[in-house]
Structure 1
Amino acid sequence: MLKRNLLVIGLATLLGACGFQLRGTGSLTADLALKELNVSARNAYGETLNDVREMLQNNGVRVYPGAPYQLHLAREDETRRAVSFTSSARAAEYELILDLDYEIRSQKDMLLLSDKVQVQGFYTKDNNNLIGNDQEANQIRSEMRRELTQQLLMRLQNLTPEQLELLQQTAEAKAQAEADALEAARQQQADQPQQSPIQAFPVQ
């Protein structure tokens, strides 16, 4: 029997605290203020991207390229490390860590905010059952990826179109100020008199 990790306990606690309710098997529902989103990812063919799209659509979000805001999955990393060893110094248990960096961008691809979600899981290694090891590791990864998308859903639940509009106005104002400063510096340089080669090197 495959060893179950402890993610389920922590997830159940979070769900009770955040008012989530189960819909079907292993899926969550949330009342999202954002009803339209474009979703993209650095890995356009990854399973996480498909999971996030499905999660949003199941929660009443219209996912399409022309949406006012874009959820971009910027980076997904997996880290594995041994956490216990056998008497012969072989790894007996591994810890898996999944990190997902995500961004919210405007329709014009202007960065509004960025954040990260992370989950951890554990699996044992049996040197006499390599196939079983792979199966358990894949099952743990699947469970962790599901929790990763659920954590992301919780984060998105706290966002409103009004908050993103304010962030967009701030980002646009900052970009305009930087453009104005760059233009002022260019104009100042253009207004400075240029020395001729003869003036620059006095006659001896």
Structure 2
Amino acid sequence: MKRSLSGLLLVMLTTLLTACGFQLRGTGSDDFALQELGLSARDAYGETVKDVRRMLESSGVRVHGGAPYQLVLVREDQRQRAASYTSAARSAENELSASLDYEVRSGNLLLLADRLEEQKVYVHDANNLIGSDQEAQQLRVEMRRELVQQLAMRLQQLNPARLAKLEETARAKAEAEARAAAEAERQSAPTAPAR
């Protein structure tokens, strides 16, 4: 009787805490400070951009082209290489690696550029090529999912204050480069001979 009563109290307390919005730290809160974000990629119909869009939308971020900040998936790369060999000089283990280069922009200003990377190793079975290929394909899907999770964690760190500071720095850098280019052009222009 006591056990069932304490279990019931625990369920009621958990329900009450969950209803008021309480959440343990580190339990995967998907809160983003950004409420809206543009999203583009070189491969606009690829699986990665679809996964990123789903991740953002499920986290409450409105994804649309008119957002003040844009997330650009610049380059996605997948590589495979032999990690170890058998005594017959055949590949025993293969290493898969995946990387994702991304940028955060405001208009034509580059605010942030970074790269995410994942690696996995699997056993290459020469007697079961189909099984090895299926395992490699499954690992590629897992790596893509992990890259998207890494991206989510990086984007969660961006808040309007940090983005405003990044934008101010980028604008100052762009203005300094424009002044330097104008000065270089002025100095290289031929001068009229004196009479």
| TM-score computed with the length of structure 2 as normaliser | 0.79
Q: Detail structure 1 runs of 4+ shifted over 6 Å in the superposition.
A: none
The equivalent of 2:150 in structure 1 is 151
The DSSP-based 3-state class of the residue aligned with 1:80 is strand
Partners of 1:110 and 1:128 lie apart in 2 by: 53
Aligned residue pair count: 171
Change (3 A) 1:135 1:163: same
The DSSP-based 3-state class of the residue aligned with 1:179 is helix
| TM-score computed with the length of structure 1 as normaliser | 0.76
What root-mean-square deviation, in Å, do the aligned CA atoms of Structure 1 and Structure 2 show?
2.1
The equivalent of 1:42 in structure 2 is 42
The equivalent of 1:165 in structure 2 is 164
The DSSP-based 3-state class of the residue aligned with 1:104 is strand
Out of 4, 19, 38, the position equivalent to 2:26 is 19
Is 1:134 aligned with 2:141? Answer: no
The equivalent of 2:76 in structure 1 is 76
The equivalent of 1:9 in structure 2 is none
Partners of 1:148 and 1:45 lie apart in 2 by: 17
Q: Residues 83-141 of structure 1: CA distance to partner in whole angstroms, max 9, x if unpaired?
A: 222231211111111111111111x2211111111111122211122211211111111
Shift of 1:188: 5.3
The equivalent of 1:95 in structure 2 is 95
Q: For the Cα contact (< 8 Å) 1:82–1:92, is it kept in 2?
A: yes
Change (3 A) 1:185 1:139: closer
Change (3 A) 1:186 1:87: closer
Partners of 1:184 and 1:125 lie apart in 2 by: 59
Partners of 1:135 and 1:190 lie apart in 2 by: 63
The equivalent of 2:181 in structure 1 is 182
Shift of 1:63: 0.5
Letter in 1 for 2:138: Q
Partners of 2:70 and 2:27 lie apart in 1 by: 24
139-148 or 42-51: bigger deviation: 42-51
41-50 or 55-64: bigger deviation: 41-50
Q: For the Cα contact (< 8 Å) 1:20–1:30, is it kept in 2?
A: no
Q: Residues 141-179 of structure 1: CA distance to partner in whole angstroms, max 9, x if unpaired?
A: 111110110011111111111111111122112222222
Partners of 2:161 and 2:143 lie apart in 1 by: 32
The equivalent of 1:119 in structure 2 is 118
Identity %: 57
